[in-house]
A and B are shown apart, each in its own frame.
Chain A
């Protein structure tokens, strides 16, 4: 303990105010626990400030401009001009609004909020290093701690983020002008979302991916819809190439790549976005002081979101895959409830996930292959959106809804949706899976006409060989 430290005590110390941390804070407050939240940067974490929300803001705005400018088929002629600074300041405004909202929600839950960086002193004490000069530090003694320090973009060798030519996703969400051309290293969901945004803004985008297709982890027919649409928009894909190094030029950079056979290829662009994934932030925590176990850099947790120390929990990205804000929400809730003695656990039957490309991808639960591997005899129902009245009226007929169920019992096991608003459509199937619903249950449910939701209904009925509209 440093001389001059102030020591306070708390039931629950939450380290990090992102989706996992702020939810744990609010839930702990609801459960009448004395909770202290330490945040070193901005409430809402990467999601609100540098991830989900900013990217969705830019996607919506660029979609609006792009759609308006590409609707001749619908009899609409327009050539929208985009003011990038205006778009960014609109985004910043709503991010501020949301982060302020998170802060006041935490306050309203009765949490004690401290700005600073928390590191473990011992298993029941943390030191808070205040941000700002001369703020000193403070010690907090805690009964329980919830580590929610999140993640940050991975840097690859020779590609340190400089915010000028080599951009992280965070930089790419804050550019004040649209570059002429953009090299995107990494064809995962972040790379694909931003590639689409910048291509629609008139930038010439090239995606360089080490693997043989974009969006690894998704089934080929799902990826195909998105990739083909991106190609239609003008995105170039270069698969099987690894970014090796780069060299600055007068108005941009030259990026050097290699393929499996050591064949080199160079690409030129104004800027380069490196989006190859995110890594957990644990270096700020002084984990050595408490002997909390990690796995591949992530803090290892059990089905109660608990670390190797029984009274210390870890939630969100720092606790491992899937690194999704909504799983962080769930983990934060469970951690708070377990601390409060409730029989909560991380027992979700499926985690829905979305990619906000054009069109969107929404998935939940098992693919047909995964269901077979898990020992089920899967039955599949698929509804192409070109047979959906609503998809046609939206002029977005690409994509499909696919539902996977157990043929014996009819239990719904998973769904893959690619199409407009797939991220919303998948919620219905997530509920169905979580409740243990069958094809018959959802098939017997009335869906509004004309909506995209009908396609879900049709896919369900299709799995029962009862589809009406397809």
Chain B
């Protein structure tokens, strides 16, 4: 018996998720709760556990596909039923019975799909597939030209028939549902489900035009679904519709819309003046316009990358940023850390010292630990210190949050920071662990560099960038240029809430603690 697993709401009010990776393939056997896939929502990646034990029949989304909640992601042949229902998908249906009764002399074998009477506008392979999948082809709506039935139409019809057949199982598993939050299946009607799997690029014409260039050479399909208007437009522009790039699909077939063709034609027109002159170009030089024809590679702007981008754009355009730069001379901190590390079980990094200094400074400059509530026309002062640590990962920037930094001792803090960063990098971190920060530290100095212009992590109002700790020349009290361990600091503030002077004062306090770490003992 086939179980169609619909994407559950894997977060709070999440509407869609991107399939980042499949851990199973058709034919694999899975146990209940075995992880089927990694699904990425706005900010986190969650495991998608199997609600049943069985054999994977079909994956309905590819890695990178964005699936709406309620969209079917995988069909699983449930174990219990497997013995009763052989894999042969051509199960008996009413039409078989009808054919039998109308022609009692000659019964088809059990489970066979009878050949319909009259014309069927579908090619032989599609008719064969319909028999194989047990689909009554006369009941299939064709999406091809003039309503011709395609392979995709038959497959969709086969999928649509499945839920009816499995209704008994559905009810039973609903009754015994242990973890409804994750395995709850919505009762989306089949019709809606078909469109559930879409590529992010269908969201707008801009994206599809971008992908047109992207795949300008690779799009060479055998077949393409398109409405007549699209085919006509393609013909008018002399465009091979199978060559028009698209990430969209309808009923399992590549689907090209009018806008895709327009975008493709536009791209082609842009490309032509660029490439044609190059044919006549001598070895002397390449025309500047040919730059467009130079090889580029592209990757999708979606998932975490896009989430980061959207956040940063909102922060950057909404918040009037000002950045204050200063440097702490931290010879004493370096020495202190070395001494401590001689005794510590786990080596301390500098970051916990920075965090303690920041918290101590926040305590003295509460305006830095705020949130601007514009709707209420209020500045919200937070009397707790949850410090986010901006962390570079392969997937992009993530900000795990260390809660109640003021209540944690140095070794504890150090261990927690290391663990959070590690889990962010391995993408094991949960959404919750990246929420609720009051102030953020970004340690770009781990990579190198001195000063930067950090962008504030909304809804916070300040962020401290820490440059590379290293020896730099400084002028000492005697007026001599001497080498000293220095830590460059860049503090960006929401200038609506925080004045420049306050930023400078806060930075001074941070520097004070960093330069004289023993002061932290008073905190």
Contacts and interface: CB of A to CB of B under 8 A. Distances in A.
Nearest to B118: A374
Interface string B91-105: 000000000000101
Interface string B118-137: 11111110011101100000
B377 interface: no
A243 B106 CA distance: 38
B300 interface: no
Nearest to B90: A343
A410 B145 CA distance: 10
Contacts, number: 72
B115 A346 contact: yes
Contacts of A441: 145
A345 interface: yes
Contacts of A301: 106
Contacts of B119: 349, 374, 411, 413
Interface stretch (A85-93, A128-136, A432-440, A461-469): A432-440
Contacts of B114: 303
Interface stretch (B146-154, B276-284, B318-326, B464-472): B146-154
B120 A349 contact: yes
A303 B116 CA distance: 9
Contact of B131 (A345, A413, A434): A345
A428 interface: no
Contacts of A438: 145-146, 148
B103 A302 contact: yes
A344 B128 contact: yes
A303 B114 CA distance: 7
Interface residues of B toward A: which range?
20 to 34
Interface string A315-358: 00000000000000000000000000001111101000000000
Contacts of A302: 103, 106-108
B115 A436 contact: no
B124 A434 contact: yes
Nearest to A439: B146
A344 B106 CA distance: 17
B320 to A, nearest CB: 61
A104 interface: no
B109 interface: yes
The prevalent SS among residues of B at the interface is loop
A374 B117 CA distance: 11
A303 B99 CA distance: 10
B371 interface: no
B121 A343 contact: no
Contacts of A344: 128
A352 to B, nearest CB: 15
B260 to A, nearest CB: 21
A413 B121 CA distance: 10
A409 B105 contact: no
A391 interface: no
B482 to A, nearest CB: 85
B142 to A, nearest CB: 8
B146 A300 contact: no
B494 interface: no
Interface string A59-81: 00000000000000000000000
Of A347, A349, A436, most B-chain CB atoms within 10 Å: A436
Nearest to B110: A310
B403 interface: no
B123 A306 contact: no
A307 B112 CA distance: 15
A310 B109 CA distance: 7
Contacts of B132: 343
Given A302-B108, A303-B108, A343-B90, A436 B122 contact: yes
Interface of A: 293, 300-304, 306-308, 310, 343-347, 349, 374, 409-411, 413, 434-436, 438, 440-441
6 contacts: A310-B109, A344-B128, A345-B127, A347-B116, A374-B119, A410-B146
Closest 3 CB pairs of A and B: A436-B121, A409-B146, A303-B115
Given A302-B108, A343-B90, A349-B119, 18 more contacts: A300-B106, A301-B106, A303-B114, A303-B115, A304-B108, A304-B109, A306-B106, A343-B129, A343-B132, A347-B116, A347-B120, A347-B124, A347-B127, A409-B146, A413-B119, A434-B123, A435-B124, A436-B148
